[in-house]
A and B are shown apart, each in its own frame.
Chain A
């Protein structure tokens, strides 16, 4: 069953006695999504008129509407200056996770969402954790930022540290668990349908049920849950940075 979840092409490297495994499918899909986003932004950027006084083209209007929506939805509570500063980061996180989640609906064998690999989601969560400290130190000053760990009382320092750790851990595991859970559920339904096909009596029902239910589950988990989880990941990243700059 786990073999169906896109873990076929793994490169094992021995580096200084440590066995490091590289999941080539995940790496290729993650890089592919990045290239897609780069192409998309290049295409949108090319459509912008050189002269700022010119009437907006359709692409420019689309871009402006999308950025306006992202600014109000993802960065609602921020002051204007910080919202403008964080808009590229948070929107990129949202789009990257969104397209990584949507990859799983492509009917290509072996292709799976990179976000069902814990390393990808943990990398993203660690990046958000680093940005929390960068923005906290920049907006409040390093001293006040570090002092916030001693609040409300100095003896609560271990609590604050554990809270920080658990927040990043759950940020990574939430995305990973949701996407992997959906993938496992879809795979189990298809496997059950495949097993039921062996009985001649059940074969037509199992085929129709497996195909329709598999498609439905794939669309539900890929499109809907994928979009919600991308929104949640970006919203939480924005909320965590917001806590540290206040």
Chain B
């Protein structure tokens, strides 16, 4: 293996680790947001529309960290 091969292998490994580890947090966070929104909807079905909208905004913001790791993985594979 030459140096270029090692660098290429390290890039793919780093991208995989980055995406895999970075997806854990947003997944747990979004699941918790959805679970609590469902709790609220079951208790107060008349609040469903407003809860759904707030849940989607909250999940979108929670997702940011996952998107950052996706962007870093894309940069590692295609740009770096």
Residues of chain A having any CB pair with chain B under 8 Å: 2, 73, 76, 170, 173-174, 176-178, 180-181, 184, 228, 231-232, 235-236, 239
Contact = CB atoms under 8 A, between A and B. Distances in A.
B50 A236 contact: no
Interface of B: 49-50, 53, 56-57, 60-61, 63-64, 67-68, 70-71, 74, 78
Given A76-B50, A180-B74, A232 B60 contact: yes
Given A2-B78, A76-B50, A174 B57 contact: no
B53 to A, nearest CB: 7
4 A-B pairs with the lowest CB-CB distances in the bound complex, closest first? A177-B67, A232-B60, A170-B64, A177-B70
Nearest to B79: A2
A231 B61 CA distance: 13
- Most central of A76, A177, A239 by chain B CB within 10 Å: A177
B67 A174 contact: yes
Given A73-B49, A170-B61, A174-B60, 8 more contacts: A173-B64, A176-B71, A177-B67, A177-B74, A178-B67, A180-B74, A232-B57, A236-B61
